[in-house]
Amino acid sequence: MNRPKPKLSRIAETLGVSVATVSNALSGKGRVSPELVERIRATAAELGYVPSVAGRALRTGRSGVLGLVLPNIANPLFPQIAQAIEHAAAGAGYGVLIANSRGEISTQTEAIGRLIERGVDGIVIVPRRGTRIVEAGCPIAVIDSPSTPGNTVSADHWEGGRRMGAHLRELGHRNVLLIGNNTTSNVQSDRIGGLKAGLGPNAATETLWIERLEAAGGAGCPLGLVEKVRGGVTAIATLSDLTALRALTELQGAGISVPDTVSVTGFDDLIWSSVVTPRLTTMRMDMGSIAEIAVTALVDAIEGDRRGNGGEETSGPVSAPISKVPMELVIRQSTGVAGVGSLKAKNRTEGELAS
């Protein structure tokens, strides 16, 4: 059991051929007779040969590693993104190096720098809202929103919003409260725009921004939803499942029934959306497709550098053939027909504990 990491030269001397031939056989590039290729493959497998990434990287100038920069690694959406990117990258033969930018814009630049120093071939980045990445010294795939300049691919947030709005309209909701986090996010503006379009011109909407509310009331302060419901709101459409959850518990804690009295919707289909009671109606992103498109575009740019355009190094955002990926409406239990259990009917319905 004394095999100190077999290298090309070991295979070569085992078979009595040159390293170059072994390399050619394994990569299928040079001219090697079919039967020799077969023998080389066999002994390589037998010896458990694993090419040295370092050696290859040094020679070819490419590391086979992609960087992944996320705006806020603690974001509950992160697992989905990371998993999807990792999977897509692995499929294309790339590894994924992570870096977080902790929401700070300076840290984001620094994180990119660290990745470059580590020799990544390309970077997938979900930019901090309001940031625009232009240059970085290597190809970049930007996942933000279709309305962001330089965006490579993302979910079709506007259309997602529109369909969610339509869903509520079809249920008869005409007085809807919209809740977002902050006004500067392109993703959130897209969703809001779509939501309003889907609800149609006959619906009355009001928009609440949590960031503003908390600036006054402190983090985690009540959103004052009970008053809104008393004021006639029959549906609350949030721009994130986290907010939906916050709304849901605030309402339930006040004894307001969801969805009988008021419907609640979210966005993103986060992990808990399907375990809470009532299970959350939400709009899911197809992270798999998004990741696949982003990684493919990136890899094309990386490998195109070597082949096609002689020496013209891509450096900056790449573009993909498809840049908007449809979202999927997941109808569960938190939305219902408007007016079923209006606040007046509340006492009667709540009495039936066993229902």
Q: Which residues bind DNA (CB under 7 A)?
A: 5, 7-9, 16-21, 23-24, 26-27, 29-33, 36, 49, 51-52, 54-56, 58-61
Looking at the Cβ atoms of 56 and 102, the one nearer to DNA is 56
Looking at the Cβ atoms of 249 and 309, the one nearer to a copy of itself is 249
Contacts of residue 111, Cβ cutoff 8 Å, sequence gap at least 6: 69, 99, 100, 101
Which of 279, 288, 304, 340 is in the footprint of a copy of itself by CB under 8 A? Answer: 279
* Residue 27, binding choice from a copy of itself, DNA, none, Cβ under 5 to 8 Å by partner class: DNA
The interaxial angle of helices 19-27 and 34-47, nearest 10 deg, is 100
* Residue 65, binding choice from DNA, a copy of itself, none, Cβ under 5 to 8 Å by partner class: a copy of itself
Residues 289, 112 contacting (CB under 8 angstroms): no
Window 91-110: residues binding a copy of itself (CB under 8 A): 95-100
222 binds a copy of itself (CB under 8 A): yes
Contacts of residue 128, Cβ cutoff 8 Å, sequence gap at least 6: 71, 72, 101, 103, 104, 105, 108
* Residue 7, binding choice from DNA, a copy of itself, none, Cβ under 5 to 8 Å by partner class: DNA
Compute the least distance from the CB of residue 68 to a copy of itself, in Å: 8
User: Considering CB under 8 A, how many residues would be counted as binding a copy of itself?
Assistant: 65
82 binds a copy of itself (CB under 8 A): yes
Residues near a copy of itself, by CB under 8 A: 50, 52-55, 57-58, 61, 63-65, 68, 73-76, 78-80, 82-83, 86-87, 90, 95-100, 114, 116-119, 219-220, 222, 226, 242, 245-246, 248-250, 252-255, 257-258, 271-272, 274-279, 350-355
